[in-house]
Amino acid sequence: MATSLSDSGGPARAAAASDNRVVVIGSGFGGLAAAIRLQARGYQVTLVEQRDQPGGRAYVYRDQGFTFDAGPTVVTAPFLFEELFTLCGERLADHLEFVPVTPYYRIRFHDGRIFDYSGDEDAMREQIRRLSPGDVDGYQRFLAESERIFRVGFEKLGDIPFGHLSDMVKIVPAMIKLRSHLTVYQLVKKFIKNPDLRTVLSFHPLLVGGNPYKTTSIYALILFLERKWGVWFARGGTGAIVRALVSLFQRHGGVLRLGEKVEQILVTPGPRKPRTAGVLLHGGVTLPASLVVSNADVGFTYRYLIPEYARTKYSNHRIENLRYSMGLFVAYFGTRRSYPDCAHHTILLGPRYKELLDDIFTRKRLASDFSLYLHRPTATDPSLAPAGSDTFYVLSPVPHLGSAQPVDWTQEGPRYRDRIYKMLDETMLPGMLKSLSTTRHITPLEFRDELSSLYGSGCSVEPILRQSAYLRPHNQSEDVQGLYFVGGGTHPGAGMPGVLSTAKVVDRLIPRLPGAPQGSPIAATHAHEYP
């Protein structure tokens, strides 16, 4: 564990004497990316993580020779990682290997039909012809529409700060032209007739915490983003990415403190509004800093880490009335046999689609049925399990805890896991129950208690239109000078590309140090082709 930069002195005096010191709270991908960017620019960065290993949601469990990535696994814009190494004068290829995943996703309908969703356009058209011959032309038009949205939503706006109302006003004409008032499902419906194909082409918002029937159509850009840069998996799992980034950060002078919980962001009076002076750790240690970057959940940060008197815009009432993404139930299991016919990513659709989403997002009740996301990383990297075995996790969207009668997961968790396992045993993974070697699960309770996610939401603030761009919690705090936010709850949103882009936004907002390196090659980023 790292030693403290300074454990003495008043916050105001410490901040005045430490203008190049930054504390980053949380070592998820947003926090790691921000820490690397700022360290490369000459700041002295301390990264504070409350858990016993870095990565945030990208935690790693190991048991009986099985390696489980706890959180994100889909890499869709690998150049964003490569950029971090380039900033430090290094090559990503010397530290990480990304392996293409094909198909991107295997979608299994409730009746057993299969749709292999991939980046091979000929194969995609053939899949669509088998499912709905009359929709091939509509799919091509939708793909073109996705590209148009991508050119604006990701390339032009994805790493642009939205700190002022004028920033939003400037993009309104483009948003109107792109029909961002529509939801993703409504947009897909304009091009596609077949209900099953509509489901296939509209599920992406669920990957970033959104309901396809409520999420702004801007998120339809994910379809083209996957086409442009592919879907990848890191050799060694997502944990290998975390380890490589931590090592990069430390090689260039960054300090990582594990097992340290931030109790409070310290603030001092300012001429117009309070400003940061550092953070107070559990146990009483103070880390002085003139700048603080929070990768903790934005709602949690405002509600519990900043004194209420210092918050005028983000009052408790406003924080609690933001709309948050769904919760997640995730079960991890290893089997003493292999399932070579099971794809790397499989989406198992239940008998309902819209009705199930209404149960999760609106009625906030645990339904008797479910749709699942099944991850088998050993399809791409067999080293993540013992020989002849497979590593899995299965994810089910569920209601978050912010309802009048939240699910009692202490009672329901094991029962829900058993129902999911029974379904997998009867469908995708015959004999699974008899071959189980290890199993564990997490619920929205763990997201709340271990990941400090308000209401136990899986992806922080829900990506609806009235919570996007300027209307989303800002990357630069409106309440406290010197406080910045990265992660899924701020602009541009959740998912690996979104979270990594939040660090780019903050990189643009934080002042340059005199005589320091100039920072990120932001303007040239999107010209990069991978590999």
Q: Check which CATH number belongs to the domain holding 318 and give it.
A: 3.50.50.60
44 and 193 housed in the same domain: no
Domain boundary among 228, 259, 278: 228
Distance CA 107, CA 76 (A): 18
Q: Looking at this protein, which amino acid is placed at residue 275?
A: R
pLDDT of residue 301: 98
161 and 256 housed in the same domain: no
How far, CA to CA in Å, does 79 sit from each of 92, 208, 318? 9, 19, 36
pLDDT of residue 516: 65
161 and 222 housed in the same domain: yes
How many domains, in total, are found in the chain?
2
Q: Is there a domain that residue 391 lies in?
A: no
Look-up: residue for tokens 């702004």? 216
Q: Is there a domain that residue 421 lies in?
A: no
Query: Using an 8 Å Cβ cutoff, are 104 and 117 in contact?
Result: yes
217 and 260 housed in the same domain: no
To the nearest 10 degrees (0 to 180), the angle between helices 136-153 and 221-229 is 90
Distance CA 395, CA 432 (A): 17
User: 396 phi and psi, to 5 degrees?
Assistant: -130, 125
Residue 50 DSSP one-character state: S
Q: Is there a domain that residue 141 lies in?
A: yes
133 and 198 housed in the same domain: yes
Helix (H, G, I), strand (E, B) or coil at 476: strand
pLDDT of residue 296: 97
Domain boundary among 211, 228, 245: 228
Domain boundary among 210, 228, 246: 228
Give this prediction's pTM.
0.92
152 and 184 housed in the same domain: yes
Distance CA 397, CA 356 (A): 10
222 and 244 housed in the same domain: no
Buried residues in 390-401 as b, exposed as e (16+ CB within 10 A): bbbbbbbbbbbb
Residues near 151 by Cβ (< 8 Å), separated by ≥ 6?
none
Residues near 212 by Cβ (< 8 Å), separated by ≥ 6?
183, 184, 185, 202, 203, 204, 205, 206, 357
Q: Is there a domain that residue 220 lies in?
A: yes
160 and 204 housed in the same domain: yes
214 and 275 housed in the same domain: no
How far, CA to CA in Å, does 315 sit from each of 207, 318, 467? 29, 5, 16
Q: Is there a domain that residue 387 lies in?
A: no
217 and 241 housed in the same domain: no
54 and 145 housed in the same domain: no
Give the residue numbers spanning the domain of 154.
Answer: 124-228
Tens of pLDDT along the chain (531 residues)? 333 333 333 444 434 445 899 999 999 999 999 999 999 999 999 999 999 999 999 999 999 999 999 999 999 999 999 999 999 999 999 999 999 999 999 999 999 999 999 999 999 999 999 999 999 999 999 999 999 999 888 887 777 787 776 766 777 777 777 788 899 999 999 999 999 999 999 999 999 999 999 999 999 999 999 999 999 999 999 999 999 999 999 999 999 999 999 999 999 998 889 999 999 999 999 999 999 999 999 999 999 999 999 999 999 999 999 999 999 999 999 999 999 999 999 999 999 999 999 999 999 999 999 999 999 999 999 999 999 999 999 999 999 999 999 999 999 999 999 999 999 999 999 999 999 999 999 999 999 999 999 999 999 999 998 898 888 999 999 999 999 999 999 999 999 999 999 999 999 999 988 876 555 443 334 334 433
Residue 362 DSSP one-character state: I
How remote is the C-alpha of 68 from its chain's centroid?
17
pLDDT of residue 157: 76
What percentage of the chain's residues is helix, strand, coil (to nearest 5)?
Answer: 40, 20, 40
pLDDT of residue 327: 97
Q: Is there a domain that residue 132 lies in?
A: yes
174 and 249 housed in the same domain: no
Q: Is there a domain that residue 78 lies in?
A: no
Q: Is there a domain that residue 133 lies in?
A: yes
pLDDT of residue 518: 56
